[in-house]
Amino acid sequence: MLKIRWIFAIFFFTTTLRTRFYVNCRAGKITLGILLPFETAGDFLSDNRQWTKRYAGMIPYAINTINNDPNLLPNHTLSFVWKDTECRTDKALRGMAQQWSENVDAFIGLGCFCEESVRLASALRLPVVSNLCTSAEVSNKSVYQTFARTKLDPGNMAQEVLGIFKHFKWKRIAIMWENIPVWTKRKDTLMETLKKNNISVSSTRPLISIKKYTPKIHKEVFRNELGVLKGKARILIFMMDHELAREAMFLADDLGMNHGNFVFILFRFDIEQILLSLQFPILSPFVGRFSETRVLTEGASKSFQNALTISLVINKDNLISDPNVLKVVSNLTQSPPFNRSKADSTYHKLFYPEDAGYLYDAIYQYAVAINKTLSHNGDIRNGTQVIQNLIGTEYKSSLGGPAFFDDNADAFIGEYILYDFRGNNTKPSYHKVGTFNVKRVLNITDEILWVKGIPSDSPECGFENDLCAEGSKNYTFLILGVVMGILVIAVIALVVSLYRKYKLEVELADDLWKVDSKEIVLSNQARSSFRSLCWDKRSVFSDTNSRDGVKFLSNVAVYKKNTVAIRKLQRNSIDITRELRVEMKQLRDIRHENLVNFVGACVEFDKVFILTSYCSKGSLQDIFENDDIKLDSMFIVSLVKDLVRGMTFLHASEIKVHGNLKSSNCVVDSRWVLKIANFGLNNLREQHTKEQKGDYKYSL
């Protein structure tokens, strides 16, 4: 069926293109194409919707309001052409094609099955502002770039409910919902939001719709379902018509759920009921429609005392119940081009249905978007530009409350009110205790009067009594066990700490790092290019076995059959303190392929020097000064990587910092692996900080 519709649309538009001239609309004239179900609502709309034919005059009323405002669309005139879609997709597509051929600048309406029509408008790049379309699919701005809607879902309050739960730190709830599409959709949206925020929905139970509910037939089923939820959660959400939720308050009394342990979340979203209560205060939300529960009982009022009600904001100065507007729109409905009967035009005597208000908002907010587009020298036939100018716009809805367009150009109610119950069964009333702003954030404005404090979301022993000992609430053994466990863990931790400290002191006292100078044998491997490894340029030892009696200078030796490098300290002796022993142990323990290994230290009189692993290629300074060594990019990258790895490991160790990083403190072994030298021993460095003359650095 979908393919057939698109084939029809393509064929029709191909035919239309033969006769259509691509000319701009006449300067200053903007034409709207109205596409709405006028005569019939078809099978799509539920029985509580009203046909457009009964409020068609709202279209010219909105257009006249815009044209009479010199600041809204100066130097421009708004007009319209209209087509009855009969709530059929083929009719909507055909009407769109005809209006497109008449050079309309935008489409208003497109209710019922609107996805295909909106997609086609997006392909034409013309803006669409709908007052009826409820499809979730068209919120996808990657596909429907030119679409916006003023149709508000007052029940889209998932963020508001979440705000209440976060405020009171409730994590477990249950839901009973009216089993009709609108409430089912709201329930699914709420459950998805709660799941993302780690709030558990322990149970959900459906209930027959308010239009079919009869107390004599369904009261017992309602009570049984509520009894099931009683054993699953303490926070109960009634996602249903307020009248049906009111019935639940009577049943909560029957089930003993009104003593302060349970919380009931109710909603007032029925715009017709709210408008009636505004005009006739005697029509209290606490007066029932069923004779059995028409008058609020003392038990039911006690249930209400632990109920919170979220209500949308509708002010008395709303457009759809204004008597002057009703009269003007009625006359316009009877006039051309609609020519409706007086019976149709006067069908709504107290207020128009909400869809009439959304129709006014759609036309008016389109004009606001065009105003912004023209002020930026934009193209009013570029639907993407026009709709972008609607996103983020806040406005006063025709229903009287604040509204705004979100990032998908979907209109949302801008404010809800949170009520609690005051009074008693003879004088019941709602009292405002909080508000939700445009960003859906809860602001508590007055104290909530709970029956006995803020209820918990779970019983002390759990819903299955699994958190308490069977037949007893004596926690003595449990507490004793916890205390004993903590004491045992503390004792073990103390013993381990003392043992580690004792072991450390033993290792420090052993002085395993000490080297006997008699075990060091001089080596002939020293090269002049290796001089930068020394802290001075004098030899560590003198060898009288050199030729012609000249002393041989060396900084390389053999210690226990291993070639080592030696660095002499310019001191005759040092004080071996505990801090020095700790530093020596740290050096002895640290091992990494890019750090020079510490072998040991000789601290004999006049022989104070440090032994480290020998690196035959010399220091980085030596390599820089050697013209025979060519440093290509790969070689440099390899050396830099070695340096980074070594410094990263050093910073993560107990030594933490080097303190004297330079080219002469970076050496290269026989495998051309760079190793960092001369780190640690801060205690010795404090005694020896003067750098030797001629020892210079390279930037790395």
Separation CA 210–CA 208 (nearest Å): 7
Which of 280, 284, 289, 219 minimizes the C-alpha distance to 253?
Answer: 219
Single-letter code of the amino acid located at 580:
L
User: Mind listing the domains of the chain with CATH numbers?
Assistant: 26-153+318-412 (3.40.50.2300), 512-517+553-685 (1.10.510.10)
Q: How far is CA 80 from the centre of its chain?
A: 42
Q: Is the pLDDT assigned to residue 662 strictly greater than 80? A: yes
Residue 326 and residue 351 in contact, taking contact as beta carbons nearer than 8 Å = yes
Mean pLDDT of the chain: 82
Side by side, the strands of the sheet bearing 562-568 are 520-522, 556-559, 562-568, 607-613, 598-604
Q: Is the pLDDT assigned to residue 536 strictly greater than 50? A: no
Q: What is the mean pLDDT of residues 226-243?
A: 93
Which of 573, 562, 586, 569 minimizes the C-alpha distance to 653?
Answer: 586
Single-letter code of the amino acid located at 480:
L
603-618 residue pLDDT tens: 887 778 888 999 988 8
DSSP annotation of 293: G
| pLDDT for res 23 | 39
Q: Over pLDDT 70: what percentage of the chain?
A: 84
| pLDDT for res 14 | 42
In this structure, of 32-41, 377-386, 528-537, the range with the lowest mean pLDDT score is 528-537
Q: What is the mean pLDDT of residues 358-365?
A: 96
| pLDDT for res 474 | 55
474 or 311, which is more confident? Answer: 311
In this structure, of 4-18, 32-46, 52-66, 668-682, the range with the lowest mean pLDDT score is 4-18
Residue 383 and residue 123 in contact, taking contact as beta carbons nearer than 8 Å = no
Q: What is the mean pLDDT of residues 123-148?
A: 91
In this structure, of 11-20, 41-50, 647-656, 674-683, the range with the lowest mean pLDDT score is 11-20
453 or 577, which is more confident? Answer: 453
Q: Is the pLDDT assigned to residue 240 strictly greater than 90? A: yes
Q: What is the mean pLDDT of residues 14-43?
A: 64
Task: Give 521-585 as a DSSP string.
Answer: EE-S---GGGGGGSSSSS-SEEETTSGGGPPEEESEEEETTEEEEEEE-S-S-----HHHHHHHH
| pLDDT for res 275 | 78
| pLDDT for res 541 | 39
Confidence class of residue 291 from pLDDT cuts 50, 70 and 90? low
Q: How many CA atoms lie within 13 A of 22 on its CB side?
A: 4
Separation CA 434–CA 417 (nearest Å): 6
Q: Is the pLDDT assigned to residue 58 strictly greater than 90? A: yes
Q: Is the pLDDT assigned to residue 640 strictly greater than 90? A: yes
Q: Is the pLDDT assigned to residue 201 strictly greater than 50? A: yes
Q: What is the mean pLDDT of residues 294-318?
A: 87
Q: Is the pLDDT assigned to residue 575 strictly greater than 90? A: no
695 or 402, which is more confident? Answer: 402
Confidence class of residue 384 from pLDDT cuts 50, 70 and 90? very high
| pLDDT for res 518 | 82
Q: How many CA atoms lie within 13 A of 180 on its CB side?
A: 17
Which of 280, 303, 687, 230 minimizes the C-alpha distance to 463?
Answer: 230
User: What's the pTM?
Assistant: 0.60
Q: What is the mean pLDDT of residues 215-229?
A: 92
Confidence class of residue 506 from pLDDT cuts 50, 70 and 90? confident
Confidence class of residue 27 from pLDDT cuts 50, 70 and 90? low
Q: Is the pLDDT assigned to residue 8 strictly greater than 70? A: no
147-198 residue pLDDT tens: 999 987 766 788 899 999 999 999 999 999 999 988 998 999 999 999 999 9
CB count within 10 Å of CB 392 equals 11
Separation CA 387–CA 36 (nearest Å): 20
Separation CA 92–CA 85 (nearest Å): 5
3-class DSSP state for residue 165? Answer: helix
Cα end-to-end distance, the chain, whole Å: 72
Which of 246, 351, 275, 266 minimizes the C-alpha distance to 311?
Answer: 266
| pLDDT for res 470 | 54
| pLDDT for res 223 | 93
